[in-house]
Structure 1
Amino acid sequence: MTTSSFQRMATLRLPVKSCFVLLVFITVAVLVIYYVSNTHLQLTKDWLSKVSNNIHSYYIKQPVRIVPPPPRHHQTVKQGTLNGTNVARTTTDSNVTEVLRKSTSSVPSIRYHEAYPRNYHFILDEPNICKQEKPFLVLMVPVAPHELEARKAIRSTWGNVSVVRGKTVRVLFSLGRPGIKDAEAQQRQLNLESKKYHDLIQSDFLDTYLNLTIKTMVIMDWLATRCPNATYAMKVDSDMFLNVENLMSMLLASNTPKENYMTGMVMWNRPVIRDPASKWYVPKKLYDKDYYPTYLLGMGYVFSNDLPKKLVEASKEIKPFNIEDAYIGACLDKLHIVPSNPPDASKFKAYFNGKYDRKEFQRVITTILSSPQQLIDFWQDSRRPT
């Protein structure tokens, strides 16, 4: 091969070599770009997922993070647990201060509160009252620690009725521990109130609207463990007008069941509210069905006193959520117990329509009022001789 031929061959090989190098370069570049893009995309996906989860967790946690249950055991509290003695007579201000200090300390945040009542312990209690008085009907009133006027109004009206149609009736107020603001002063007042009236049942969960499910389940456990021999009980809100005579007439009727019985204002096919801005918001993580089982409106429902123990047992298997009356409905559904329609549904009224009618208040069993003073005024008028 001549020199010129060799040079021509070299000249031809150069573009081929260059093309090969270029092809390798492009291939490597594409692979690098693909890898980087794919990694970036994955990071972006992970980042977006994290943001989404954080936003979702905010709405899941927001209603309940502010109400975590207190520590389950208070070593410094000697009042006893749910099976203890009458702590209302032994609680001191220093004990209460320690309870409040420990209960408001930092605890791990949770996604929902725990409603099973044995997770909590009594601060004030009346464990022997049902043994001493043997009530036929126990009226349990959930009330906030600071709502002294509501308790006074009830004590001076329907809560002052101890015997109706020959049957003993007892009223007790159920409450949690005060919030951080003025907690010690409020607790001292509650201690004095308990010693005077012997009608406060206080547990160590934080008393908030979102913890009404806990409060209700503590009520059920108190009835099951402290007052199992009562025939009937009622959970009735502190803003209610209650005509105990009419209630007793219904309970003493021959056809009123004494077991597996709960009645009041019945709610059917109620949708679960998913709007985070709503007071009644429940996220799917707490309750994943779109509709609640049949339940009774929480303003006031009556039940045979065999149910509290069964409801407490059922609550072990029902994830808690913050709508207390619907939660009781879920526990009933677990027990395959259907709430009963009252003999006359119109006697369980919701809100007062603003126009007082004496005859109507003498006819009903329950009505929601707007203030303690309104309860006193309507009660006194409805009871005066005609």
Structure 2
Amino acid sequence: MALLRNRLKVMVTVMMINVFIFILIFRHSSQDKNRHPKVQIPTTTFWTKVTPSSAYWNLQQQILDLQDNPILLAYLNDTVMPDWLVDINLPSNPCQLNNKVTTQVKDYNSLPDRFKDFLLYMHCRSYPIVLDQPDICKSPPFLLLAVKSQVSHFDRRQAIRQSWGRAGVIANQTVVTVFLLGNATAWDYHPDLSSTLLDESARHKDIIQWDYRDSFFNLTVKEVLFLEWVQTRCPSARFIFKGDDDVFVNTYRILDFLKGLSEPKARDLFVGDVITDAGPHRDKKVKYFIPESLYIGKYPPYAGGGGYLYSGDIAARLYSSSEHVALYPIDDVYTGMCLRRLGLAPEKNKGFRTFDIEEKYRSNPCAYKSLMLVHPRTPQEMIKIWTWLSSPDLNCQ
């Protein structure tokens, strides 16, 4: 009898275990169904139709973005390639005139000549170098000062050499200075100063010149050519200041600022007088006028072209980014576009005064001691301010 009861207990226990296992399996199955619902297949095409922009720059950037998107480009190849995307090959080397823009830009004939010139050669970003300094960075500089200048601006270059752009060892750091020039053409009614420039280059060994028309809208060309030059001739420069030849730069203050940066901050450095929430000027009387036929939309944050400071690491990334951004006729805005493509934005620093300081402080030497850049200044003013800051008797406490 006892044996029968024991067998009955075992059977009941086994049945309860089986029921428990069944419940667990059922619950797991229900959860799995809830976690992985039935796959829904889209009834329409995933990619929407790519619509071309009405503004010429935006359209060119659209094309570049599509070229950089192999998935979308493959999809377009498998369907029907839009007509506006079919003929995207432009002459690049040598830089030939692109006459297609005369019909692609709706108001081309009514645009000022500077726009026509820019549009005809907008695709070109490779020009022969006329004057070079291949060994100027043989000893990698801590700070490279790159100054945008023009052939006729000898007085500005000389004042910079005698003041804030003095190359050598400053505050125990190696500083190298180069001047970036294009070609002054008879078209722009410039006198022929080529022989004078050759003499200047032979004497100072700091002139970099390319054979392209040196105009306001071609400052962007100077930008991309310089970025390429840095990667070729001066890739080990720790930091780079790039600015105009009518600014005063407090090199002492810049070196102090740079030496105080942490390594991560130094690597991603890009500082200046940052302009945000801006867009193109539509007033034809303004120097920075941009018609709607060329560009629509807002500008990304950008540092004013009077001068900004960035790391050598950022310079390399900017060069790579610039190959995927269509040339834009305003160089500082273009640099902001390249930064945005990298997922970066310039940082505002109150030491950069591209719109000058209050008039009552301009004759006070101590007003410049904490600043990194002031714009504009004449050659005479550059030398005077540098003399003030270099004096051991200057007391600004």
Q: TM-score, normalised by structure 1?
A: 0.69
**2:237 equivalent to 1:186:** no
Residue 209 of structure 2 aligns to a residue whose secondary structure is strand
Contact 1:347-1:363 at 8 Å conserved across structures: no
Instruction: For 1:244 and 1:252, locate their aligned partners in 2 and report how far apart those are by CA, in whole Å.
Output: 12
Note the C-alpha offset of 1:369.
2.8
Counterpart AA for 2:108: S
Note the C-alpha offset of 1:284.
3.3
Aligned to 2:144: 138
Aligned to 2:213: 206
**2:338 equivalent to 1:331:** yes
Counterpart AA for 1:64: F
Residue 64 of structure 1 aligns to a residue whose secondary structure is helix
* RMSD, matched Cα: 2.3
- Seen in structure 2, the aligned counterparts of structure 1 residues 369 and 214 have a Cα distance that, compared at 3 Å, is same
Aligned to 1:126: 133
Note the C-alpha offset of 1:115.
6.1
Instruction: For 2:271 and 2:140, locate their aligned partners in 1 and report how far apart those are by CA, in whole Å.
Output: 23
Contact 2:145-2:241 at 8 Å conserved across structures: yes
Note the C-alpha offset of 1:275.
2.3
Note the C-alpha offset of 1:161.
4.6
Counterpart AA for 2:370: R
Aligned to 1:103: none
After TM superposition, the structure 1 = structure 2 runs for residues 115-264 of structure 1, keeping only pairs within 5 Å, are 116=125, 119-131=126-138, 133-180=139-186, 185-255=192-262, 257-264=265-272
Pick from 270, 273, 278 the counterpart of residue 265 of structure 1: 273
Number of equivalent positions: 287
Instruction: For 1:349 and 1:209, locate their aligned partners in 2 and report how far apart those are by CA, in whole Å.
Output: 18
Counterpart AA for 1:57: Y
After TM superposition, the structure 1 = structure 2 runs for residues 247-326 of structure 1, keeping only pairs within 5 Å, are 247-255=254-262, 257-289=265-297, 291-326=298-333
Instruction: For 2:111 and 2:121, locate their aligned partners in 1 and report how far apart those are by CA, in whole Å.
Output: 8
1:243-274 CA-to-partner distances (Å, cap 9, x unmatched) read 11110111111336232321111111112112
Instruction: For 1:139 and 1:378, locate their aligned partners in 2 and report how far apart those are by CA, in whole Å.
Output: 18
1:156-201 CA-to-partner distances (Å, cap 9, x unmatched) read 1111152123210011000001121676831111111111000000
Counterpart AA for 2:150: A
Aligned to 1:62: 113
After TM superposition, the structure 1 = structure 2 runs for residues 350-361 of structure 1, keeping only pairs within 5 Å, are 350-354=355-359, 355-361=362-368
1:227-251 CA-to-partner distances (Å, cap 9, x unmatched) read 1111111102111111111101111
- Seen in structure 2, the aligned counterparts of structure 1 residues 203 and 382 have a Cα distance that, compared at 3 Å, is same
Residue 145 of structure 1 aligns to a residue whose secondary structure is coil
Instruction: For 1:252 and 1:306, locate their aligned partners in 2 and report how far apart those are by CA, in whole Å.
Output: 16
Counterpart AA for 2:257: M
Counterpart AA for 1:185: D
Residue 211 of structure 2 aligns to a residue whose secondary structure is strand
Counterpart AA for 1:186: L
- Seen in structure 2, the aligned counterparts of structure 1 residues 54 and 298 have a Cα distance that, compared at 3 Å, is closer
Residue 362 of structure 1 aligns to a residue whose secondary structure is coil
Instruction: For 2:254 and 2:367, locate their aligned partners in 1 and report how far apart those are by CA, in whole Å.
Output: 15
Residue 134 of structure 2 aligns to a residue whose secondary structure is coil
After TM superposition, the structure 1 = structure 2 runs for residues 19-38 of structure 1, keeping only pairs within 5 Å, are none
1:24-69 CA-to-partner distances (Å, cap 9, x unmatched) read xxxxxxxxxxxxxxxxxxxxxxxxxxxx999821344632334x6x
Instruction: For 1:53 and 1:277, locate their aligned partners in 2 and report how far apart those are by CA, in whole Å.
Output: 25
Contact 2:179-2:206 at 8 Å conserved across structures: yes
**2:122 equivalent to 1:113:** yes
Aligned to 2:33: none
Instruction: For 2:321 and 2:224, locate their aligned partners in 1 and report how far apart those are by CA, in whole Å.
Output: 11
Aligned to 2:58: none
- Seen in structure 2, the aligned counterparts of structure 1 residues 321 and 349 have a Cα distance that, compared at 3 Å, is closer
Counterpart AA for 1:113: M
Instruction: For 1:115 and 1:142, locate their aligned partners in 2 and report how far apart those are by CA, in whole Å.
Output: 20
The percent identity for this pair of structures is 28
Counterpart AA for 2:232: T
Note the C-alpha offset of 1:324.
0.5
Contact 1:60-1:111 at 8 Å conserved across structures: no
Counterpart AA for 2:165: G
Counterpart AA for 2:390: R
